[in-house]
Amino acid sequence: MRPVRTAFAGALLGTVILAGCGQTGTTSGSTAAPTSAAPSASSASGSAGFPVTVEAGNGKVTIAKKPERIVSLSATHTETLFAIGAGPQVVAVDDQSNYPAEAPKTDLSGFKPNVEAIVAKQPDLVILSNDQDHIVAELAKVNIPVLLEPAATKLDEAYEEITEIGAATGNQAKAGEVVSGMKSELDKLAAGAPKAAKLTYYHELDQTPYAATSQTFIGQIYGLFGLTNIADKAPDAAGGYPKLSAEFVAQADPDLIFLADVKCCQQNKDAVAGRPGWKDLSAVKKDRVIELDDDIASRWGPRVVDLARAIGDAVGKAATS
């Protein structure tokens, strides 16, 4: 069993242990502009100039010059770095950063960070999503700038983090393009999908089964398509990630079942059908059990668009079948 590292279950880190494989409240859509303090250059040389000061999760971080040796301890932020053109500046990423393929994966851990191992990479910037073992303060002792960008709880926060990382690495223009592209694609996917207000769904984080409600980051992505989340009526739904009983899911009989535990927990359509009382579920009978890519379904970076596309495709098929 490993700690859930998903953005969608980030609030559970340290309190609930799940067999998760990846690394997410409420927004009205993907077109809203970022609301938190925007990155600001502290020199007059322009938004790409240095020094630059960024408002991150660990407060205002000033970076003296463009980073040339970046270490990422977050799979999501690794994806962002390469998407915004900062890949050549990255010298090491953590053991969970498996995308893109060219990312310099190492045995560094974002969940059990080792100060000496990080320092050995000679970074001039470290980007992470969790302050495990007070790693931010530990790295500050050796004068290494750290950008703490926690798991986003809504789309706007994801956009903000991409923008902040762009400013901190000297890639602000490209980061802006990435954010604009994400917003545009999500809008198109939501607008092009059939209205499915009466369709219900169950998103499975792991086979225990833990789920995610509409108030989580992942729930907001589903919300773009007008789906109704069965987990919202769970007894402990207030926390965002209720543990559902098999009986609860069977009684709710969702129209769609999305599995985000395919790689980590070897779950698939057949495994779902084999669970006690589940073979007669509507989603099973109508072949509406969707096997998601665990990583895409558990990170809050640029590939959120790919997750939305998978959901949109499933909604489209269900609406016409």
Query: How far apart, in Å, are the Cα atoms of 164 and each of 36, 190, 257?
Result: 10, 26, 35
pLDDT surpasses 90 at 3: no
CA distance readout (Å), 213 to 79, 273, 300: 25, 23, 16
Phi and psi angles of residue 96, each rounded to the nearest 5 degrees, phi first: -105, -5
Instruction: Put the strands of the sheet holding 59-63 in their side by side order.
Output: 40-41, 52-56, 59-63
pLDDT band at 319 (very low <50, low <70, confident <90, very high): confident
Task: Give exposure, 171-194, as e/b (b: 16+ Cβ within 10 Å).
Answer: bbebbbebbeebbebbeebbeebe
Question: Would you state the structure tokens that stand for residue 60, as one six-digit string?
Answer: 């205002």
pTM of the model: 0.86
What are the structure tokens assigned to 119, written together?
Answer: 């320092």
Q: How confident is the model over 247-295, as pLDDT tens digits? A: 999 999 999 999 999 999 999 999 999 999 999 999 999 999 999 999 9
Give tens-digit pLDDT for 141-188: 999 999 999 999 999 999 999 999 999 999 999 999 999 999 999 999
- For the chain, which domains are there? 2-27+188-320 (3.40.50.1980), 40-182 (3.40.50.1980)
